Structure 1
Amino acid sequence: MTVSGADRGRSQPSFAALLRVFTRIGFLSFGGPAGQIALMHRELVEQRSWVAEEDFLHALNFCHLLPGPEAQQLATWIGWRLHGMRGGLAAGMLFVVPGAAVMLALSMLYAVAANLGWVAALFLGVKAAVLAIVVQALLRIAGRALDTGAKRALAAAAFVGLFAFALPFPLIVLGAGVIGMLIARAQPDWLALKPSGTPGALPARPWRTTVLSVLVWGAIWAAPMALIAVTLGQGHVLWQVGAFFSQLAIVTFGGAYAVLAYMAQEAVQGFGWLQAGEMADGLGLAETTPGPLILVTQFVGYLAAYRAPEPFTPLVAGLLGAGLTTWVTFAPCFLWIFALAPWIDRLGQAVWLKGGLAAVTAAVVGVIANLTAWFALHVLFARVGVVEAGMLRLSWPELASFDWRAGVLTALAFALAFGARWGVLRLLAACAAGGLVLSAL
């Protein structure tokens, strides 16, 4: 990797200092990827000068190309840049572990308390707040990503394909990527792609490092699945959990919001692991914890195994399900970084790759719009059916099942989020309290 002039003058931290700073970041990384990236920029670029501004932004663009949580991958890349593989492991794990520990505790509590009346009332308010948070994310991403007519068309097509025809999420993402690559070659201005500058001296192609990283981390990724296949068999819920979330790790472009509707559809309708409302509860819990929002997968994995525990006790099965889900969600992130980070400068010159990313980002706006519609239906209505006619497969609510309490709490959430501009934690607390008040009335 080439070193910029700004990067030559940066300070080189000790490994102990890296551990201290990333432990701090891990406990303070609230607010989704935007807030987490801003926190790392302040801590590592502005205050400590460990990474040059140019390299930070270059790496961030690179992480947007990869499936998985971009903020966690950026943390892994920074650790790798400063202290090699052990630095990448330390930074990436410290970014995840605090939030994962909190999410596990909340999942355990939820599993035993979800049927209590006051808990249901509290989570009714949480779900209303989550709906407002998802709409905020949709508007923020759309405002940044949809700056051309072609991108707006891709977003609209993605929404219609998912909401009206129930097309598979991986097909939407991969199809958008291929379309973007083709547009980049023929009409790059349709995607507002800037021509690449004159490339400087590039490093030799690091094939040996990449192949070795893929082999090692592929084996690490697959190890628990091999153990489950040998001991429990492919019919066990743990195999289903591991296989599903391994697949999800490959197509998770655009962050957690982009895959939540697909995850919910499969977890609720495909596998029957949990109810639609519980999926919204899980997202609400994930919003309250530090670390990547994709930790909501841990909640799903815990409940899936907890409710089909044989031959274990429910608690042990839940712990295994949560651990397995976290493993197969984040092990691929280390694989992508350690295998591809040495190629970052070469990839930065690939216009076709930038086109694919731009198109996927545009399609993700449509995907999040579908998630917004899915959440709105399941928060505001007690019963949601499916209208099928030919290829059309449209979710539609029973209007008589409208929940007026959810409507009131949703109106409160939107007023606080968009009018008063409250932050996520304050908004969740206020709406949860509102749910308890309405339950008492």
Structure 2
Amino acid sequence: MEPSPVLYTQTDLIRYFLRLGTVGFGGPPALVSAMHRDLVIERQWISEEDYREGIALAQLAPGPLAAQLAIYLGYVHHGVVGATLAGLAFVLPSFLMVLGVSWTYVRFNGLPWMQAIFYGIGAAVIGIIAIGTYKLTLKTVSTDALGWILFTVSALATAIVEQELVWLVFLSGGIYWFIKTKGHIRTEAGNSYAPFLLQVLSLPFDSMLWKLAFFFMKAGAFVFGSGLAIVPFLYGGVVKEYGWLSEQEFLDAVAVAMITPGPVVITVAFIGYLVAGFSGACIAALATFLPCYLFTVLPAPYFKRWGKHPSVKAIVDGITIAAVGAIAGAVVVLARRQLVDLPAILIALSTLWLLYRYKKLSELYLIGGAAILGLMLRYIT
């Protein structure tokens, strides 16, 4: 069968991810849903199968989910160069924004208005990610009864324990493979997976930048799940273990990640800036994203080569369903934390209704309106 023609260039790819990195609010659930809507459904640059493989690989490998998916989708038709450009284009806008916020934060000794803006934006984001997750769920699970069971279990587990259970994602892939293929294994694919290991060399230099590099490389290499999953790891390190930030500074760092577009994990740049200035921000961001880049690009050829085999495809489908369930559960967790009063609930519900009612409505307008509402409510109350 002839491969389908590539409908876009590397330049188109860079433009898209620059835009998504600039206006893509809502963290992993919203960004993952946006890539599916834009690249699979509307533009049809990426096939549904390639998208599912990307989601599965992003779930299996440690690191931020949305960034890894962007890297993989860049790899699909344009190889390592496409993966590199897509990853850079996706991360760079939010990195530059966080640098600007970091400078302002340090210059004016904190951002008292940040909490007001975050209040409004955070509530609107819940509506944005809820509608995106709803659409992604319908497309991924469809009418598959087994898929709905696995989705529901994953969503409930994530909502209850408030973290993504990696073992449940693996188990879902195994169950789906066993039931759909009756345990049949394609033996010709058995010897095609080359093991790889990312080794972190010991750092002999006792300087803050090397300490930052080592710590954030661990964060990028050993934390599974979405960008939100890295927050507890960062808290334990930068606040509890090393004392680099105070409790309030860390909360402000998380707020910065949520009020800026792009991957949530970009909060590492804010933390690095507070600890060691511009150099610290660059080191923290590079050390965090480098492992996830390698963990995506290195196994990508094997996913591309064997992802279409029935056994591998069943495992990928099961993992994807569980991943979408975990995203849905994460929406519940975020809603519980963000929607703390009636105005916040009304903002979220209004956002949800507007996006459902008006399909072409730009999320950027809703984010801007919610930010203004947050400031107004702060000063009124």
What range describes the TM-score normalised by the shorter chain of this pair? 0.7 to 0.9
Give the Å deviation of 1:243.
Answer: 1.3
The superposition leaves residues 117-144 of structure 1 with CA deviations (integer Å, 9 ceiling, x where unpaired) of 3332222211112111121122112212
Alpha-carbon distance in 2 for matches of 1:101, 1:262: 21
- AA aligned to 2:266 is Q
- 1:202-281 to structure 2, matched below 5 A, reads 211=194, 222=199, 225-226=200-201, 229-232=203-206, 236-248=211-223, 251-252=224-225, 259-268=226-235, 272=239, 279=254, 281=256
Query: Considering only aligned residues, what root-mean-square deviation do their CA atoms show, in Å?
Result: 3.9
The one-letter amino acid of 1:361's match is T
2:333 equivalent among 374, 398, 403: 374
| Structure 1 segments unaligned to the other structure (5+ residues) | 47-52, 81-87, 189-195, 197-201, 253-258, 287-292, 382-402
| Aligned match for 1:183, one of 176, 179, 185 | 179
Partners of 1:45 and 1:164 in 2: how far apart? 36
Q: How many residues align?
A: 347
CA gap of 1:153–1:423, structure 2 versus 1, over 3 A, is: same
For 1:59 and 1:373, the matched residues in 2 are separated by: 28
Instruction: Please name the residue that 2:269 is paired with.
Output: 302
Mapped to 2, the partners of 1:334 and 1:175 lie a distance apart of 24
Structure 1: which amino acid aligns with 2:169?
Answer: V
Report what 2:260 is aligned to: 285
**What residue is the counterpart of 2:61 in the other structure?**
none
How far apart, in 1, do the equivalents of 2:136 and 2:351 lie? Answer: 20
Task: Label 1:275 to 1:414 Cα distance change in 2 as closer, same or farther (>3 A).
Answer: farther
Q: Is the 8 A contact 2:273 2:281 kept in 1?
A: yes
| Whole-angstrom CA distance in 2 between matches of 1:340 and 1:205 | 11
Whether 1:104 aligns to 2:95 is yes
Partner AA of 2:222 in structure 1 = Q
Of 282, 295, 309, 1:332 maps to 295
2:83 counterpart residue number: 92
**Is 1:128 aligned to residue 137 of structure 2?**
no
1:3-82 alignment, distance < 5 Å:
4-5=1-2, 20-29=11-20, 32-33=31-32, 35-36=34-35, 59-67=50-58, 69-80=68-79
Q: Percent of aligned positions with the same letter in both sequences?
A: 14
1:191 maps to none
The structure showing larger relative contact order (alpha-carbon pairs under 8 Å, at least 6 residues apart) is: 2
State the 1:232 CA deviation: 4.6
Q: TM-score, normalised by structure 1?
A: 0.65
Distance 1:263 1:137, change over 3 A: farther
Amino acid at match of 2:124: A
Compute the displacement of 1:39 (Å).
Answer: 5.7
TM-aligned CA deviation for residue 320 of structure 1 = 1.0
Q: Which runs of 5+ in 2 are unaligned?
A: 25-30, 59-64, 240-244
Alignment partners' CA distance in 2, 1:140 and 1:37: 9
- Displacement of 1:43 in angstroms is 11
Distance (Å, rounded) in 1 between the aligned partners of 2:85 and 2:116: 34
Q: CA deviation at 1:324?
A: 1.3
- Tell whether 2:308 aligns with 1:348: yes
Q: One-letter code of the match for 2:117?
A: L
Q: Aligned in 2, Cα 1:439/1:44: closer, same or farther, shift over 3 Å?
A: closer
Residue deviations 1:251-287, cap 9 Å, x none?
A: 55xxxxxx2443344444676477567536524422x
Among 117, 139, 144, which residue is 2:134 paired with?
Answer: 139
The answer to whether the 8 A contact 1:237-1:304 is kept is no
